[in-house]
Amino acid sequence: MDSETLPYTDEHRAFRATVRRFVESEVVPHHAQWEKDGMVPRELWRRAGSLGFLCPGVPEAYGGAGVDFLYSTIVTEELLWTGATGPLFYLHSDIVAPYLVHYGSEAQKRAWLPRMASGETISGICMTEPGAGSDVAGIRTRARRDGGAYVRSGQKIFKANGQIADLFLVAAKTDPDAGARGVSLFLVESDRPGFARGRNLEKVGMHAQDTSELFFDEVRVPASSLLGEEGRGFGYLMSQLPQERLLVAIGAVAAAEAAVDWTLDYVQERQAFGAPLAEKQHVRFALTEAHTEVTIGRVFLDWCIARHLEGKLDTARASMAKYWLSDMQNRVIDACLQLHGGYGYMREYPIARAWADARVQRIYGGANEIMKEIIARKLFERR
């Protein structure tokens, strides 16, 4: 299922084959149980790390493979083509790790990146709070300087990998009166006194992915835990968001492609009024429309990935990809569920789980309404 326009090589294809075998043998057979458990086991992360699936873009000097973004694309696609939303590897590998690569000190890189690449350390990112979601500048978690340390207090919510992560990238206000210029980023270990995990939240979908509230009660961290410069955190976050939004878009297209494939199989097997559903014109047209939308989405996604490989994907285009492709994902999966009839509402069918899992794609990574505002600002700059 390689793109015809992206520069995949034989090495990429061999990597894809290895990832596919891993997903089919070590993820798919166990995913239903992980959904009941509310998380995936740590051993899966270590196994993925041993095979080079975690942090592939991290330089070799810090334990990664130093390869291009297509390797991360492959891992995300192979998981989403099977509906496996539990192992949220891209959050760890392609959202948290790049902050360390780009803004971390040499000591921070050497301390954490090799452990992240091996799966020994699992990471998460803490921006959203009960009163601040897409508005990162509105966060209230405080980090005050106290001699050679920072003392942090506050609450974060909806944190993916919240139950199993060992290391969190935390956004906090070091100057509460400076707005966006008062935001700084810190690396906080989960065993720090004063840190506490809330319950594993019960979500509509993505049941195998642990999501939690996190509490910081006078958590003391050394000044060396500051990532980059104090007060530069908002800028760091904004510079990395295009890749995060592109990853959401990659997952959206892969999930929609899978939904169409599952539904094609279903309507050819399912009988109604003495004939397969696939012989009904409405069914054929509905799947034709879905297939067309997904194909258009794939072309735009591949264009965005190509731009990202060149370092030229801007915030507005990444926002377009995130909003339009996640909307498309939801439209297509909903249409495919409808073609399954009552069976589509049963969680034993992958289309039902994909339908529930898809909804959050329009919310996290920046709500789609915020994406439209970002695009509009860029659009009206041209006038």
In a domain, 4, yes or no: no
Are residues 357 and 273 part of one domain? yes
Distance CA 15, CA 2 (A): 12
Q: The CATH number of the domain where 315 resides is what?
A: 1.20.140.10
Interacting residues of 20 by C-beta distance below 8 A, sequence separation 6+ = 78
Residue 245 lies in a domain: yes
Residue 1 has pLDDT above 70, yes or no: no
pLDDT tens, position by position, 50-82: 999 999 999 999 999 999 999 999 999 999 999
Is residue 365 in a domain?
yes
Residue 208 reports pLDDT greater than 60: yes
What single string gives the DSSP state of each residue in 169-195?
EEEEESSTTSGGGGEEEEEEETTSTTE
Assess whether 107 and 225 both reside in one domain: no
Question: Does 133 have pLDDT greater than 70?
Answer: no
Q: Which of 72, 95, 121 is the last residue of a domain?
A: 121
Number of domains forming the structure of the chain: 3
Q: Same domain, yes or no, for 112 and 140?
A: no
Closest to 359 in 3D by CA, of 34, 77, 85: 85
Range of the domain at 320: 235-381
Q: Supply the pLDDT for residue 138.
A: 77
Q: Say which residue the tokens 């990146």 belong to.
A: 113
Alpha carbon separation from 261 to 32, 187, 273 (Å, rounded): 20, 42, 23
Residue 3 lies in a domain: no
Given the residues 77, 244, 257, 293, select the one marked as catalytic: 244
Asked if residue 288 and residue 203 are part of one domain, the reply reads no
Please report the pLDDT score of residue 179 as a whole number: 87
Helix (H, G, I), strand (E, B) or coil at 95: helix
141 and 56 housed in the same domain = no
* Spatial CA neighbour of 197 closest among 215, 184, 180, 210: 215
- The amino acid occupying position 97 is A
Domain end call among 172, 204, 230: 230
What average pLDDT does range 201-208 have in this prediction? Answer: 97
Per-residue pLDDT of 83-117, as tens digits, reads: 999 999 999 999 999 999 999 999 999 999 999 99
With respect to residue 5, please indicate whether it lies within any of the assigned structural domains: no
Query: Does 143 lie in the same domain as 114?
Result: no
Q: 81, 105, 121: which is the final residue of a domain?
A: 121
Among 136-145, 276-285, 312-321, the range scoring the smallest mean pLDDT is: 136-145
pLDDT in the model for residue 382: 72
Residue 362 has pLDDT above 80, yes or no: yes
Domain check: are 224 and 254 in the same one?
A: no
Q: Do 372 and 244 belong to one domain?
A: yes
Both tokens of 285, joined, read 């047209």
Give a yes or no: residue 88 inside a domain: yes
Is the pLDDT reported for residue 188 higher than 90? yes
Statement to judge: residues 207 and 239 lie in one domain: no
> For residue 272, what is the enclosing H or E element?
strand 271-272
- The reply to whether 114 and 172 lie within a common domain is no
pLDDT band of 155, cuts 50, 70, 90: very high
Instruction: Find the CATH number of the domain harbouring 63.
Output: 1.10.540.10
Judged by DSSP in three states, 218 sits in strand
What pLDDT score does 2 carry? 53
Q: Do 41 and 89 belong to one domain? A: yes
> Which has more pLDDT, 1 or 216?
216
Given a cut of 90, is residue 169 above it in pLDDT? yes
When pLDDT is cut at 50, 70 and 90, the band that residue 148 belongs to is: very high
Q: Is 244 a catalytic residue?
A: yes
Tens digit of pLDDT for each residue in 21-48? Answer: 999 999 999 999 999 999 999 999 999 9
Which pLDDT score, from 0 to 100, does residue 117 have?
98
